[in-house]
Structure 1
């Protein structure tokens, strides 16, 4: 049986493209964020929305590779692989980045749908001290966490309209 996997897929989908109880899903939020904030930050130490999306793609890719039993794939925290330096200067670049995010999410669904039962959920992720159930729930939590950051950037953009100059390019 795959009841737990089906519940994980449902939760992943709700947070990513559904209608979660707390507000916008990841894709709904990104669809409403103008591309012009893609490369801007509120302060020099902040990540841009585009970098956050790249970071989400990186960790979804990590989950995909681990679900495919790729023991060689790894991401070191606070590296270029973890936080790609992505810049978006056009609507087309923003749309392409969002398509990459959707493709990564879709690949997670494909991997999970190929599982024959839920037994893999209790297995440790190779080289880690957590199991696949924790990894997949972590992907959900990670999306929600960074969704809040994107919302903050969006709200700061609205403030910029009233107070030009608070963003850096």
Structure 2
């Protein structure tokens, strides 16, 4: 076997299996959902970003072997389109394996005597050094992906203690009560409120997860709060004239990492002014929140921490109704409860309070 054929074989085994370490991209990427691929763990790059980064250099080397020059900028290698759907992730994975196969074919067609010639420019060294460097680079990031995958797949982080004393239980109830007193207004002092929440919640997480919680709050500050605001102000609640509401529900389903947000009106006969642009509107209106857009790592926290994050969403919902009532699209007629449930079990209910018109 020629040296170039051996290098091509090494590259294929790295991507498709059969190498000495028995770790390869085909096995490691199997079973990773698009949500997991785009989830940031601690300060690490996401799996999708690492894959894109590797592809950037593999593609550049492949183009160089086609005579297109070797032009790379490291900062560009981490910039990629967002992964928003399963199709985005599937397309990236398919491209990864196609690039690897094309590059392997190019390598095995090179004559051995070229390996120790200069690759494009003296600063890159020889063909051998560059090709082997691309393979070593991929091995390095494969190890990172394997570790990130394990972190993403691991079960909930355990409590600080497996059993709790009565004092510890009372302490949790006290902190939950403190959390419920924070307004979480989507437009006012939300960053300050999230800092307060971080201090309360982080005591129930191992220190290694504090940065993860902070990154979740950054996502919520940047995007998540607007998901909640737009749902209840002009979304499923659009009240140009007063109309009675029976209840608002936030239903968390842990198996799917989604929240069903719904409003149930008091009557099937909706006010014309409120539904003329949506004639199909009925007694109940609902929408589904994907937690990737709210708290991306929700599934990795203990149940008590999950409940505290859900309280934040409930309090923000209540604040939106109470602060925006009597505005053009929030003409409330009555007080009503906002109910929070987890896997079909009601955990809390709190009434919206009306102010005088």
- TM class by shorter-chain length? 0.7 to 0.9
Q: Is 2:88 the partner of 1:89?
A: no
Structure 1 segment 1-169 matched on structure 2, within 5 A: 3-43=2-42, 45-71=43-69, 73-77=70-74, 79-80=75-76, 82-115=77-110, 117-127=111-121, 128-159=123-154, 161-163=155-157, 166=212, 168=216, 169=296
5+ residue gaps, structure 1, are: none
Q: Shift of the alpha carbon at 1:67?
A: 1.4
Q: Deviation of residue 19 (structure 1)?
A: 2.3
State the distance in 2 between where 1:162 and 1:111 align. 45
8 A contact 1:26–1:143 mirrored in 2: no
Q: Which runs of 4+ in 1 moved over 4 A?
A: none
Which structure is larger by alpha-carbon Rg, 1 or 2? Answer: 2
Alignment: residue pair count: 162
Residue by residue over 1:90-148, the C-alpha shift from the partner in whole angstroms, topping out at 9 and shown as x without a partner, is 22211100011112112212322433x21221111112341111111112111111011
Q: Take 2:101 and 2:130, find their aligned partners in 1: how far apart are those partners?
A: 17
Higher strand share: 2
RMSD (CA atoms):
2.1
Q: Deviations over 1:77-100 (max 9, x none)?
A: 2x12x2123432322211100011
Higher helix share: 1
Whose RCO is larger (CA < 8 A, sep 6+)? Answer: 1
- Could you state the TM-score of these two structures normalised by the residue count of structure 2? 0.42
Normalising by structure 1, what TM-score? 0.85
For 2:150 and 2:81, the matched residues in 1 are separated by 21
Structure 2 gap ranges (5+): 158-204, 217-295, 297-357
